[in-house]
Amino acid sequence: MDKDFAPQWDAAQGIAPRAAVAKQQSAAIKQIVTIRLDTDMLDWFKGAGPGYQTRINQILRQYMADHRDDAFAAKAN
């Protein structure tokens, strides 16, 4: 897979304020990984059109944000 490949739906859009640019730069570093997903779930994400990997990433990021406090509380105990 070509790491330099950047599909249109994954590219930055427009000009953002400085704070947004800094956040995008810190979150824009991506690593290629292999993950095993149930085929029905993957088909569902792909069925919504191009950008399914980005959508999966957004959902995982939201889950991480929602449970961040839970992870810190578990480490404290």
Instruction: Name the one residue in this structure whose structure tokens are 């578990």.
Output: 74
For 36, the enclosing helix (H) or strand (E) is none
Domain count of the fold of the chain: 1
Domain that holds residue 62: 35-77
In a domain, 4, yes or no: no
For the segment 41-66, what is each residue's pLDDT rounded down to a tens digit? 999 999 999 999 999 999 999 999 99
In a domain, 24, yes or no: no
Q: Please, where are the H alpha helices in the chain?
A: 18-28, 39-47, 52-76
What's the pLDDT band for 69 if we cut at 50, 70, 90?
A: confident
Distance CA 45, CA 53 (A): 8
In a domain, 17, yes or no: no
Query: What confidence score (pLDDT) does residue 51 get?
Result: 95
With H, G, I as helix, E, B as strand and everything else as coil, classify residue 30.
coil
Instruction: Name the one residue in this structure whose structure tokens are 């000009």.
Output: 15
C-beta of residue 12 within 8 angstroms of C-beta of residue 24: yes
% of the chain at pLDDT higher than 70: 61
In a domain, 68, yes or no: yes
Is pLDDT of 14 > 90?
Answer: no
